[in-house]
């Protein structure tokens, strides 16, 4: 178990004073796996892994029974199977997770408009304005947990604290299916026994640097002069970590943070050099990106491709269109042009990706028909496909070239 997971349980309980603790961090428990188990209740209590089983796929989610064997998200599937050979592996269903995520976020927004999603399965909430209507923060957190279970059949863990940083640590502390309050006057007592790797911004390399300085806990770091930290880590990182070590985090909950880009990428089970297969994959990724754009009410003007060779060197190319789009065929055509221009058409690739940037709200983006373009075309056809997907599943309607099974691998 890594030091990031070794979080000692401080002497604080639900029911402690939550005065001055308006920030909640809500984190769904093993989100993808929990959503799958709703339809397969016979697997409850068993080690379950969500991920593509072949080749270079990675773990997208794992039940806590699987985590006891050392399995964790982003781990290569090959290693996960070695650690837990009896695990049940379920291929991911991204559309299903997106639907549940949107609905869960609506629960949060029914509590307070101050919701800052930071992933599909977690968000910060500022419940300052909801206290008069719903009670103190800990009571609001309990209501959220009850509603998530009642409406979706899955659980979440909630940290309640005076700052975002401490609230996130608190939710991690009480996983799975817990609620934990860090009183404002006990923040230092909570933080200082923790391993230094618990702090935001402390990755493996930074942790190694701090350990060489004799800094193993947050308390050790709090007692280290800022000048020493800045000399070892740089001024920005040193001052940032020094502030966190004393529980200082001035960032507010920021709702409605717009997406900057939407993309998808695929790591192949084996390297692929056939341009026909690469273009087929570009089409599949373009379809997925376009569906996500329409789902989020976005259009984008810049299309980029990411191409990674077998030796891990990566090439990115982008092009800005005349007008913003959410049409897969337009994205795909541009992606193919960028692939051709890259000079890698006959080069074996281990990963390809498609991304759309410079996003705008679709309802605010004017679009002019090109000369000779029919008034109804790919956009309407793809929206019809969206309606079919919502009713019958994402793979119910596909372009003919994508009907045969897709590659195994990771789709982000």
Q: Coil, strand or helix: which one is 338?
A: helix
Tokens coding 350: 């281990």
Please compute, for residue 354, the number of CA atoms within 13 A of its CA located in the half-sphere on the CB side.
Answer: 30
What lies within 8 Å, CB to CB, of 209 at 6+ separation is 232, 233
Residue 16 labelled as part of a binding site = no
CA 149 to chain centre: 21
Integer Cα distance of 290 and 302 in angstroms? 13
Tokens coding 23: 């920030």
CA 200 to chain centre: 16
The dihedral over CA atoms of 284, 288, 290, 291, expressed in degrees to the nearest 10, equals 130
Active-site residue, 122 included: yes
Distances (CA, A) of 68 to 87, 165, 202: 11, 26, 24
Q: Coil, strand or helix: which one is 137?
A: helix
Cβ-contact 306, 355 below 8 angstroms: yes
Tokens coding 66: 């699987």
Please compute, for residue 192, the number of CA atoms within 13 A of its CA located in the half-sphere on the CB side.
Answer: 11
Cβ-contact 172, 7 below 8 angstroms: yes
Tokens coding 251: 């960032």
DSSP codes of every residue in 183-239: -GGGHHHHHTTSBGGGSTT--HHHHHHHHHTT--BHHHHHTS-HHHHHHHH-HHHHH
What does R_g of the chain's alpha carbons equal in angstroms?
23
Residue 185 labelled as part of a binding site = no
Integer Cα distance of 181 and 161 in angstroms? 6
Number of other residues whose CB lies within 10 A of the CB of residue 58: 18
> C-alpha angle 311/314/315, rounded to 5°?
135
Q: Pairing mode, if any, of strands 349-361 and 261-272?
A: antiparallel
- Options 114, 122, 265, 266, the catalytic residue: 122
Which amino acids are annotated as binding site, given as ranges? 27, 121
Binding site members for Mg(2+): 27, 121
Catalytic residue numbers read 122
């Amino acid at each position: 178990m890594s030091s990031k997971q070794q979080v000692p349980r401080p002497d604080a309980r639900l029911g402690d004073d939550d005065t001055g603790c308006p920030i909640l961090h809500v984190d769904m428990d093993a989100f993808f796996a929990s959503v799958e188990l709703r339809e397969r209740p016979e697997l409850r209590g068993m080690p379950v892994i969500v991920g593509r089983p072949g080749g270079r796929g990675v773990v997208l989610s794992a039940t806590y029974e699987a985590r006891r064997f050392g399995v964790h998200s982003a781990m290569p599937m090959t290693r996960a199977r070695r650690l837990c050979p009896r695990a049940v592996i379920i291929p991911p269903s991204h559309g299903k997770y997106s639907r549940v995520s949107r609905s869960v976020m609506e629960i949060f927004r029914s509590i307070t408009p101050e919701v800052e999603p930071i992933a599909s399965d977690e968000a910060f909430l500022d419940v300052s304005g909801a206290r008069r209507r719903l009670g103190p923060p800990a009571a609001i957190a309990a209501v959220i947990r009850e509603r998530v279970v009642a409406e979706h059949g899955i659980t979440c863990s909630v940290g309640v604290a005076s700052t975002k940083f401490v609230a996130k640590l608190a939710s991690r502390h009480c996983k799975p299916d817990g609620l934990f309050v860090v009183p404002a006057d006990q923040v230092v007592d909570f933080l200082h026994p923790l391993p230094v790797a618990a702090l935001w911004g402390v990755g493996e390399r930074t942790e190694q640097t701090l350990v060489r300085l004799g800094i193993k806990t947050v308390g050790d770091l709090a007692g280290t002069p800022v000048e020493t930290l800045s000399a070892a880590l740089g001024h920005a990182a040193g001052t940032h970590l020094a502030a966190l070590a004393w529980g200082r985090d001035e960032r507010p909950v920021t709702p409605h943070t717009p997406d900057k880009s939407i993309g998808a990428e695929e790591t192949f089970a084996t390297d692929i050099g056939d341009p026909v297969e690469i273009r087929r994959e570009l089409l599949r990724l373009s379809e997925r990106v376009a569906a996500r754009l329409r789902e989020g009410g976005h259009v984008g003007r810049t299309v980029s491709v990411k191409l990674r060779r077998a030796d891990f060197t990566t090439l990115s190319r982008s092009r800005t269109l005349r007008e913003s789009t959410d049409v897969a065929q337009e994205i795909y055509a541009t992606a193919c042009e960028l692939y051709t221009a890259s000079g890698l058409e006959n080069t074996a690739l281990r990963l390809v990706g498609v991304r759309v940037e410079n996003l705008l709200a679709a309802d605010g983006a004017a679009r002019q028909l090109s000369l000779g373009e029919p008034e109804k075309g790919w956009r309407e056809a793809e929206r019809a496909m969206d309606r079919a997907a919502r009713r019958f599943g994402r793979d119910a309607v596909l372009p003919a070239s994508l009907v045969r099974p897709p590659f195994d691998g990771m789709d982000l």
